[in-house]
């Protein structure tokens, strides 16, 4: 009766093998590496960088463990720190011909030491949280009110031109916060306008009202439109942050949305908060300027003449070099939106929207310059980079399209870069944490010490008190730990100090199931049951209680997961996973071990579960009352 | 080895009244301290700034306090953290200041007190990671004071955490009650939750009385304990149900005594094991895990007491009858079915 079918043993073996495989990468530790990422907004790295790095290394006679491209940066791993530093210099020299204006960021970094075949299986080490490896954490609040007012302002501009186009006379359009008010002298015009607005401005909802002798329409964003605006603002801010953080050359920066209007930025390894804040808070600026394509300017481009007066030369970026006028037609703060959207021939294009001021200036400029070229230039750290140079094909105002970038991807990139100029809405740091590297190391040591000593104490007690069954329980507990670490590694969960505490606590609680089982088996033996039957009954009858007690613990774990944030979440994830793995290991796995040991012995006389004490002279209790 | 050599059922319920009075008094004391002293909430809840600095020599807390107070950031708390060289400085939120700079300014001040100068320090760790940080450099490149950790939490975040904490507590209470009502009966679910909330209030009472810092980690510990010690009640209730079915001549009181007696060995061994783990955290986990482990310790100890003496007694006062449980289980369940309610 205490035998498992073969598939259950196979399941155990498979779980053990997978557990070992995915736990393994955590033991290798980290090795020195060099990380290469893009130093320019216009430069996007792809796998093509790998052979360049490899050739740079072989030219310098340095051997890397591997060079690989992942996400948006390339990493090369080295055997020791000396090689790493040499390699950094070699790569930097090869990739950045001009050290004053680096196009690539080459930074020293860490990479997992685990062998390539494990990485290929996606068996990666757990990601260590900031409290374990040191770094900075920012929680940034996006000012959604500002994003909404900005949007409302652009709508107010659109409204003015729309009313003018349709010849509707109004007595003023005003914006107050997120609310737009249009005044009318005449109710008939109001009705006309209302019909027009319902048709043309689907994102706004209008309420009619009176204002003295005048009539007015009060418009506000519809809730779903407001949500969309907020969503976009948040996404754009995250993109902008990504671009800026890349510059820090941080190994694995975390930039994530949290809730409806917050962004978490975590920069492991970074200790210099001032610099980090400076980079995160930096504003890039976008400028639209008219390009000069006169013969003089062309001569200057070829180096045959000086740059004409009042012009400027930009040598970096798409369409560069180019000579542009110094006057700014429109700047980034006038840009309300830039989206990749195919043009009427279904070619990739970027559709740009400016606010009313920008639109007016664009209209004036384009009226006189049809057929000429316009450039978009992104300024960062006082250095300009050309994003695009395009021919002005007709007169346009606050809405226009940029075409000719060839691929949809290029269109996406351009739209992103145009928007990357600034933040869609201002952000404020509302939470900031920095953890020094030595403190992180300390936390790891202390966390592991707790788990180790606690585990040893429990194991020793179980083995002494329950003898062989205690050994089985201990093995099951060890298996639980293995499985938990494997699952966490598989999910690439972030391990934090509360997470380690949760591992310890989960192990401490998981032993409950085995205590339940062992006590039950003893009780069955005390009641006079034969050993095989006692084992069977012990496991079977303890199961319902184990399930009940784990469900109640799981309810608490889920509550923490749902409502917790930050450290509590790290705790809750591990706690919930631990409850699940412990049900598997304590019941199925330990039973498997017992079955394997005792299951085949037909005439089992005794089991090694410690002393089964019976009151003297007591008769075995009646099984069924 | 067998620790528990119990010959006959221990009459726990004979003293139920006494235990309940003790519980009630402890509970009342906890509530009293919670009201009069309140919890010493960490800055995660209140908002504010925390700096952890490590001095090269033993820190002079009073001097540190005086110089931070001189900066005029409001009421400052300065205390040792872990060792005599590590100091924790807490600063409240002040509306008129740019909060994210507070930590930097305090460190600058402490650095100049220690005759050091702020400078960016760049180095590469043994693993080869490049680190650049603001360090306080004294003579000969020594660092008289190091910034180990800073934390700044805005006021809005704190208020939300507070609300979320209460929501989580409500979720756990409702979830567990619903589950127990479904698995057993409402009287048990009320008894279990009253018993365990009584634990929670007592943990909070301890934190209020000693003015220990109540952080997010402690909140997590409290909720984890709530889920965990309900187990205990579940195990006993399982046994009560089983005994009602098996021993038809026993009175309710005898059934409860029997159930508690037959589960007491498991109760103590399990809690002992969990406590060993928690003790390891308390001893080796360092200051960060200290209060987390303290909350767990109190929770585990009171968990044993409350599920043994309080939960069962409340169920008894609520008038649990054989019919409540046997009616639901007797008809449609085979008494020999091993899955029909656990018997541990």
Residues A234-248 have a mean pLDDT of: 78
The full set of domains in chain A, from first to last, is 6-11+438-598 (1.20.1640.10), 30-113 (3.30.70.260), 145-222 (3.30.1360.100), 285-422 (3.30.1360.200)
Between A66 and A623, residue with greater pLDDT: A66
> Does B52 contact A439 at a Cβ distance shorter than 8 Å?
yes
> Does B342 contact A562 at a Cβ distance shorter than 8 Å?
no
- Give the Cα separation of B181 and A70 in Å (integer): 52
All residues of chain B having their beta carbon less than 8 Å from the beta carbon of residue A431 are 151-154, 157
- Give the Cα separation of B111 and B137 in Å (integer): 8
Pairing relationship of beta strands A179-184 and A214-221 according to DSSP bridges: antiparallel
Mutate to test the interface with B, among A105, A431, A446 (most CBs of B within 10 A): A431
> Does A454 contact B276 at a Cβ distance shorter than 8 Å?
yes
Residue A446 has its nearest CB partner, among B171, B284, B343, at B284
Highest-confidence range of A42-56, A251-265, A327-341, A465-479, by mean pLDDT?
A: A465-479
> Does A454 contact B165 at a Cβ distance shorter than 8 Å?
no
| pLDDT greater than 80 at residue A48 | yes
A229-238, A244-253, A357-366, B107-116: which range is least confident on average? A244-253
Residue A556 has its nearest CB partner, among B224, B245, B273, at B224
Instruction: Determine the distance in angstroms separating the CA of B83 from the nearest CA of chain A, rounded to an integer.
Output: 13
Coil, helix or strand at residue B308: helix
Residues A550-568 have a mean pLDDT of: 85
Do the beta carbons of residue B172 and residue B188 sit within 8 Å?
no
| Per-residue pLDDT at A621 | 47
Instruction: Determine the distance in angstroms separating the CA of B316 from the nearest CA of chain A, rounded to an integer.
Output: 21
Residue A454 has its nearest CB partner, among B100, B248, B277, at B277
Environment class of residue A128 by beta-carbon count within 10 Å: exposed (0-12), middle (13-18) or buried (19+)?
A: buried
Coil, helix or strand at residue A382: coil
Do the beta carbons of residue A444 and residue A131 sit within 8 Å?
no
**Nearest residue on chain B to A130, alpha-carbon basis:** B149
| Per-residue pLDDT at A450 | 93
Question: What is the token pair recorded at B263?
Answer: 């589960």
| Per-residue pLDDT at A2 | 76
Environment class of residue A243 by beta-carbon count within 10 Å: exposed (0-12), middle (13-18) or buried (19+)?
A: middle
Q: Which helix (H) or strand (E) holds B124?
A: strand B117-124
**Low-confidence spans in chain B with pLDDT less than 50:** 328-335, 337-338, 340-344
> Does A508 contact B148 at a Cβ distance shorter than 8 Å?
no
> Does A519 contact B335 at a Cβ distance shorter than 8 Å?
no
Residues 233-262 (B) with a CB less than 8 A from some CB of A: 234-235, 238, 245-248, 262
Instruction: Determine the distance in angstroms separating the CA of B104 from the nearest CA of chain A, rounded to an integer.
Output: 9
Q: What per-residue string of b and e applies to B72-84 under the rule 16 or more CB within 10 Å gives b?
A: ebeebbbeebbee
A71-75, A183-187, B198-202, B274-278: which range is least confident on average? A71-75
Q: Return the closest-CA partner of residue B317 out of B7, B4, B23.
A: B23
Residues A589-606 have a mean pLDDT of: 84
**Is the bond preceding residue A321 a cis peptide, omega within 30 degrees?**
yes
Residue A567 has its nearest CB partner, among B165, B167, B217, at B217
Q: What is the pTM of this model?
A: 0.78
Residue A563 contacts B, CB cutoff 8 Å: yes
Residues 53-92 (B) with a CB less than 8 A from some CB of A: none
Instruction: Determine the distance in angstroms separating the CA of B201 from the nearest CA of chain A, rounded to an integer.
Output: 16
Sequential DSSP letters for B43-76: HHHH-EEEEEEEESS---HHHHHHHHHTTT-SS-
Residues 6 or more apart whose Cβ sits within 8 Å of residue A346: none
Coil, helix or strand at residue A417: helix
Question: What is the token pair recorded at B165?
Answer: 């904490």
Residue A433 has its nearest CB partner, among B150, B266, B286, at B150
pLDDT in tens, A437-481: 788 888 899 999 999 999 999 999 999 999 999 999 999 999 999
Coil, helix or strand at residue A394: coil
A17-26, A45-54, A92-101, B21-30: which range is least confident on average? A92-101
Task: Look up the ipTM and state it.
Answer: 0.84
Residue B18 contacts A, CB cutoff 8 Å: no
DSSP 8-state class, residue A254: E
pLDDT-derived band at A165, boundaries 50, 70, 90: confident
Residue A65 contacts B, CB cutoff 8 Å: no
> Does B342 contact A541 at a Cβ distance shorter than 8 Å?
yes
All residues of chain A having their beta carbon less than 8 Å from the beta carbon of residue B287 are none
CA atoms within 13 A on the CB side of A418: 28
| pLDDT greater than 80 at residue A406 | no
Between the CA of residue A189 and those of A128, A155, A181, A207, what are the distances in Å?
A: 64, 20, 15, 15
| Per-residue pLDDT at A421 | 60
All residues of chain A having their beta carbon less than 8 Å from the beta carbon of residue B338 are 537, 540-541, 543
Do the beta carbons of residue B140 and residue A430 sit within 8 Å?
no
| Per-residue pLDDT at B130 | 63
Residues A583-587 have a mean pLDDT of: 87
Environment class of residue A461 by beta-carbon count within 10 Å: exposed (0-12), middle (13-18) or buried (19+)?
A: middle
Instruction: Determine the distance in angstroms separating the CA of A464 from the nearest CA of chain B, rounded to an integer.
Output: 8
pLDDT in tens, A363-376: 888 888 888 889 88
pLDDT in tens, B292-312: 999 999 999 888 888 778 888
What superfamily in CATH does domain B12-42+157-330 come from? Multidrug efflux transporter AcrB transmembrane domain (1.20.1640.10)
Residue B183 has its nearest CB partner, among A446, A508, A548, at A548
**Nearest residue on chain B to A83, alpha-carbon basis:** B128
A:B CB pairs within 8 Å: 311
> Does A508 contact B274 at a Cβ distance shorter than 8 Å?
yes
**Nearest residue on chain B to A470, alpha-carbon basis:** B1
The ranges assigned to domains in chain B are 12-42+157-330, 48-153
For CA atoms A49, A55, A59, A62, give the dihedral sign.
Answer: positive
Classify domain B48-153 by CATH number: 3.30.70.3400
| pLDDT greater than 50 at residue A43 | yes
């Amino acid at each position: 009766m205490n035998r498992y079918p073969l598939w259950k043993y196979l399941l155990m073996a498979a779980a053990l093998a997978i557990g070992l495989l995915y736990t393994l990468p955590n033991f290798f530790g980290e090795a020195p590496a060099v990380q290469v990422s893009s130093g320019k907004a216009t430069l996007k790295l792809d796998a093509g960088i790998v052979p360049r790095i490899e050739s740079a290394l072989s030219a310098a006679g340095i051997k890397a463990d591997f060079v690989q491209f992942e996400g948006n940066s390339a990493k090369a791993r080295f055997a020791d720190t000396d090689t790493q530093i040499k390699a950094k210099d070699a790569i930097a020299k090869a990739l950045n011909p001009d050290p004053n204006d680096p196009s690539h960021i080459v930074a020293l970094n860490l990479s997992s030491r685990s062998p390539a075949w494990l990485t290929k299986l996606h068996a990666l080490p757990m990601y260590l949280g900031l409290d374990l490896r040191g770094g900075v954490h920012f929680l940034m609040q996006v000012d959604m009110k500002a994003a909404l007012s900005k949007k409302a302002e652009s709508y107010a501009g659109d409204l003015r031109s729309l009313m003018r186009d349709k010849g509707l006379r109004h007595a003023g359009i005003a914006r107050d916060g997120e609310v737009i008010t249009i005044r009318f002298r005449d109710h008939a015009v109001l009705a006309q306008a209302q019909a027009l607005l319902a048709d043309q401005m689907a994102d706004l909802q209008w309420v009619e009202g009176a204002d003295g002798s005048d009539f007015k329409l009060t418009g506000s964003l519809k809730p779903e439109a407001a949500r969309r605006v907020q969503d976009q603002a948040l996404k754009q801010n995250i993109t902008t942050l990504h671009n800026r953080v890349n510059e820090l050359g941080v190994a694995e920066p975390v930039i994530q949305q949290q809730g409806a209007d917050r962004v978490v930025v975590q920069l492991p390894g970074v200790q210099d908060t001032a610099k980090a804040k400076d980079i995160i808070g930096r504003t890039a600026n976008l400028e639209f300027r008219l390009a000069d394509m006169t013969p003089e300017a062309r001569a200057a481009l070829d180096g045959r003449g000086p740059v004409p007066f009042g012009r400027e030369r930009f040598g970096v970026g798409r369409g560069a070099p180019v000579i542009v006028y110094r006057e700014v037609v429109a700047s980034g703060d006038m840009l309300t939106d830039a989206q990749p959207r195919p043009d009427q021939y279904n070619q990739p294009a970027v559709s740009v929207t400016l606010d009313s001021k920008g639109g007016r200036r664009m209209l004036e400029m384009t009226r006189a310059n049809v057929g000429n070229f316009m450039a978009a230039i992104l300024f960062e750290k006082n250095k300009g980079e050309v994003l695009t140079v395009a021919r002005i094909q007709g007169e346009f105002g606050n809405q226009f399209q940029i075409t000719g970038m060839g691929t949809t991807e290029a269109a996406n990139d351009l739209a992103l870069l145009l928007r990357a100029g600034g933040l869609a809405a201002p952000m404020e740091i509302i939470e900031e944490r920095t953890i020094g590297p030595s403190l992180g190391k300390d936390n790891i040591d202390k966390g592991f010490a707790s788990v180790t000593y606690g585990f040893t104490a429990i194991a020793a007690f179980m083995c002494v008190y329950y003898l062989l069954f205690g050994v089985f329980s201990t093995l099951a507990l060890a298996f639980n730990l293995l499985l938990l670490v494997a699952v966490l590694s598989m999910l690439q969960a972030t391990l934090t100090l509360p997470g380690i505490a949760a591992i310890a606590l989960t192990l401490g609680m998981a032993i409950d199931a085995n205590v339940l089982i062992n006590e039950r088996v003893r009780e069955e033996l005390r009641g006079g049951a034969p050993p095989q039957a006692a084992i069977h009954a012990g496991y079977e009858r303890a199961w319902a209680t184990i399930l009940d007690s784990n469900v109640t613990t799981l309810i608490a774990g889920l509550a923490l997961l749902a409502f917790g944030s930050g450290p509590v979440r790290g705790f809750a994830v591990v706690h919930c996973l631990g409850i699940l793995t412990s049900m598997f290991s304590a019941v199925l796995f330990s039973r498997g071990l017992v079955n394997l040991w005792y299951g085949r012995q037909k005439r089992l006389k005794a089991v090694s579960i410690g002393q089964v004490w019976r009151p003297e002279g007591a008769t075995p209790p009646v099984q069924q009352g | 080895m067998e620790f528990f050599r119990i010959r006959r059922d221990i009459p726990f319920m004979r003293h139920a009244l006494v235990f309940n009075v003790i519980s009630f008094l402890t509970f009342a004391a906890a509530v009293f301290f919670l009201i009069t002293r309140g919890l010493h909430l960490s800055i995660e809840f209140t908002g504010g700034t925390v700096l952890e600095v490590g001095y090269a020599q033993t820190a002079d807390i009073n001097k540190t306090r005086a110089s931070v107070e001189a900066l005029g950031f409001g009421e400052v708390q300065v205390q040792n953290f872990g060792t005599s060289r590590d100091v924790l400085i807490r600063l409240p939120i002040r509306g008129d200041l740019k909060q994210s700079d507070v930590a930097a300014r305090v460190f600058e001040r402490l650095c100049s007190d220690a005759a050091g100068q702020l400078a960016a320090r760049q180095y590469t760790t043994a693993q080869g990671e490049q680190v650049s940080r603001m360090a306080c450099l004294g003579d000969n490149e020594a660092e008289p004071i190091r910034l180990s950790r800073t934390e700044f939490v805005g006021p809005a975040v704190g208020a939300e955490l507070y609300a979320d904490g209460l929501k989580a507590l409500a979720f756990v209470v409702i979830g567990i009650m619903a589950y127990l009502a479904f698995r057993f009966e409402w009287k048990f679910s009320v008894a279990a939750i009253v018993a365990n909330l009584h634990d929670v209030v007592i943990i909070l009472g301890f934190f209020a009385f000693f003015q220990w810092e109540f952080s997010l980690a402690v909140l997590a510990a409290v909720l984890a304990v709530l889920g965990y010690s309900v187990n205990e009640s579940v195990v006993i209730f399982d046994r009560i149900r089983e005994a009602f079915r098996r021993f038809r001549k026993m009175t309710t009181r005898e059934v409860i005594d029997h159930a508690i007696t037959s589960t007491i060995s498991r109760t103590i061994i399990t809690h002992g094991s969990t406590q060993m783990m928690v003790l390891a955290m308390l001893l080796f986990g360092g200051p960060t895990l200290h209060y987390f482990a303290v909350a767990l310790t109190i929770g585990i100890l009171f968990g044993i007491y409350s599920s043994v003496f309080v939960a069962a007694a409340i169920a008894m006062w609520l008038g649990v009858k054989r019919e409540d449980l046997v009616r639901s289980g007797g008809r449609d369940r085979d008494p020999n079915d091993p899955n029909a309610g656990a018997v541990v």
